Structure 1
Amino acid sequence: MTDRTILCFGDSNTHGTRALRFLNDRRRHAKADRWPSVMAGALGAGWDVIAEGHPGRTAVFDDPIEGVHKNGMRALPALLETHLPVDLVIVMLGTNDTKTRFSATSFDIAKGLEKVARTILASDAGPDGAAPRVLLAAPVPVIEVGPIAPMFVGAQTKSTELAGHLEAAASRLGVGFIDLAPVAQADPVDGVHLTAEAQAAIGRAMADAVQQIFS
């Protein structure tokens, strides 16, 4: 089988950021412990897994504090062209969109992620100029604790509600969907990032979802 390319388009939890003990804590899980690497190992030979995780990345919002480069929609076209042909894009975003500064509802966040998916489906970045397939992942819900909790006031409710809206969007678009809330939880140290065990659980669940898409 020709290698299939999977682009993992995400934020700090795809980057492998460890739970923040203080602001600007920049520790990162070992590469082998990050979910894209775990997924690649579970899938085995024949899969080229590319991790494109940018800490602070939103789906569609320009961040007035951290910079407009955090907007995933700005980065997406270049990434699709950089890595083409891409067979599948896994979109695991939405957590940063729940930040208080954006004043977005869970419905609006899901609509932003739907826009990301539509952009991928409208591209010619797949094999033979077709569009890549898409897997929308509802991220683990936020817990409002720790040093970054002031950025995420109200995010626990919004992030919990997001999965239902995102599943509906995936159904409308005819793309894959996975809810990660039953799979793993955020590290209670900062309520947003993942332990190595959670990264591993997500990697295994993602591998199962990918195999279903290509079965």
Structure 2
Amino acid sequence: MPVVLCFGDSNTWGSATVERPDGRYGPDERWPGVLQAELGHEWRVVEEGLPGRTTICDDPVEGVEMNARPYLLPCLLSHRPVDVFVVMLGSNNLKARFGMSGWEIAESVGTLLKIVRGSRTGPGGSAPRMIVVSPPPLLREMSPRLGPMMEGGYEKSLLFSEAYAHVAANHGAEFLDGGKVTTSSRFDGLHLDPEAHAALGRAVAERIAPKSR
């Protein structure tokens, strides 16, 4: 059974923009769950979403465990063989405390792709197929809680599409422009509404196995 590993942050974990128990969308609402439904029982979709996760940064406020880099290889090894690795990260790197440009954030995703490509955690010890999803841009108007934290992030996030496509091509990965599939919610300017999760799940499924749709 082919395995798809969905690696991301709160928008993979399913932080809700509408009222839900524990502030999280249900398994069938989250985009990995939609992806599972689209691909069918012949596939196994693994959710690896962590709210606050960065690409390569130790977070001085939320903790070093938010850094994806040291966790990625153990994650791949624990779920091997991984046929398809789907990554959507970078929104948390927009926090002002990290001082990263949009292009630097994209390049940090490339650092993760190097780990995946060299991990030999795909079928038969190969590298997993890699799909990079650029997060949708932030909204200019964000919630009072997130706005100050993400100061300057809107402009940087507008560069994600071009920068992520460039990095994906350089590392032998496929690219999906999340900003063309979804938009950030007016609820807080960062997270995804249920309709956006559904659209993203369908788009990733189409990229992975178009003949199954």
**Separation in 2, partners of 1:11, 1:173:** 21
Q: CA RMSD in A?
A: 1.8
Which residue does the alignment assign to 2:184? 186
1:160 and 2:171 aligned: no
Deviating runs (4+, > 2 A) in structure 1?
A: none
**Separation in 1, partners of 2:205, 2:45:** 11
Amino acid in structure 1 at the alignment position of 2:189: G
**Separation in 2, partners of 1:172, 1:19:** 35
Which residue does the alignment assign to 1:145? 142
**Separation in 2, partners of 1:174, 1:212:** 20
* Deviation, structure 1 residue 173: 1.7
* Deviation, structure 1 residue 12: 0.3
1:41 and 2:37 aligned: yes
Which residue does the alignment assign to 2:98? 102
Amino acid in structure 2 at the alignment position of 1:193: H
**Separation in 1, partners of 2:208, 2:114:** 19
* Deviation, structure 1 residue 186: 0.8
Which residue does the alignment assign to 1:16? 14
Q: Measured at CA, do residues 109 and 213 of structure 1 come closer, stay the same or move farther in structure 2, by a change above 3 Å?
A: farther
1:171 and 2:174 aligned: no
Amino acid in structure 2 at the alignment position of 1:93: L
Alignment of 1:80-159 (within 5 A): 80-143=76-139, 144-146=141-143, 147-159=145-157
TM-score by length of 1: 0.93
SS in 1 for 2:47: strand
Q: Measured at CA, do residues 177 and 212 of structure 1 come closer, stay the same or move farther in structure 2, by a change above 3 Å?
A: farther
**Structure 1: gaps (5+ residues):** none
**Separation in 2, partners of 1:78, 1:20:** 33
Which residue does the alignment assign to 2:61? 65
**Separation in 2, partners of 1:213, 1:148:** 40
TM-score by length of 2: 0.94
Q: Are the counterparts in 1 of residues 18 and 193 from structure 2 also a CA contact under 8 Å?
A: no
How many pairs are equivalent?
209
Q: Are the counterparts in 2 of residues 20 and 190 from structure 1 also a CA contact under 8 Å?
A: no
Q: Measured at CA, do residues 180 and 213 of structure 1 come closer, stay the same or move farther in structure 2, by a change above 3 Å?
A: farther
SS in 2 for 1:32: coil
